[in-house]
Amino acid sequence: MLAFSLQHTAAYAAESIEIEQARLEDSSEGYRLSATYSFELSRGLEDALMRGIPLYFTTDIEITKPRWYWFDAKEITESQTIRISYNVLTRQYHAAISGRLQQSFATLDDALSMVRRPNRWVVADSNALRVGQTYEVAIRMQLDVAQLPKPFQVHAMNSSDWRLSSSWKRFTYTAERQ
């Protein structure tokens, strides 16, 4: 019974992304999201990656202004996708952030570090949030199967190996300017 319990816990851990830390930071370019994630790829995802199928990890952020008289107002909705791929000829992993930044890595763990600890990215212009106003911020990360080639999308819908996501992490943020 204990062996089953441990196996079940390990399987659950492989299907979940944990958001270890998330916060908004004010900068001269605007408001940046700083977040770190914790997860491991299942054996099936590693095999798919080694066979040339890229994996797409998408982080979504929603910033809403609470209102007492109506539904909350969604001020900002942004997302960022990081693509991890493997080149069989060069035996290198590649990570690219939404086409802007691309790096090569010798190991899968090094490439995944870009997903687990992404660069702080600007989610809102410096004038998008009103100074002194308190906002509700929600973020999540997931393996985005919608960006896979069509035959793999069908397989991903039916396989638990391809269900890798976090739940929404929510926190409040009071806008400030430097």
Largest CA distance in the chain: 60
pTM here is 0.83
pLDDT tens series, the chain, 178 aa: 333 333 333 334 446 899 999 999 998 889 999 999 999 998 988 998 998 889 999 999 999 988 778 777 788 899 999 999 999 899 999 999 976 778 999 999 999 999 999 888 899 998 888 889 999 999 999 998 888 776 666 666 666 677 888 999 999 999 887 5
Tokens of 84: 């991890």
pLDDT of residue 62: 95
Cβ atoms within 10 Å, residue 112:
21
Q: Residue 68's domain spans which residues?
A: 2-174
Tokens of 121: 């990215």
Round to whole Å and give the CA distance between 48 and 40: 14
Task: Tell me the DSSP string of 55-119.
Answer: EEEEEEEEEEE--SSSSPEEEEEEEEEEEEEEETTTTEEEEEETTTEEEEESSHHHHHHHHHSPP
Would you say 37 and 10 are in contact if contact means Cβ atoms under 8 Å apart? no
Residue 93 burial (10 A CB sphere; 0-12, 13-18, 19+): buried
CATH number, domain of 52, equals 2.60.40.10
Round to whole Å and give the CA distance between 166 and 146: 16
Question: pLDDT tens-digit profile of 18-30?
Answer: 999 999 999 888 9
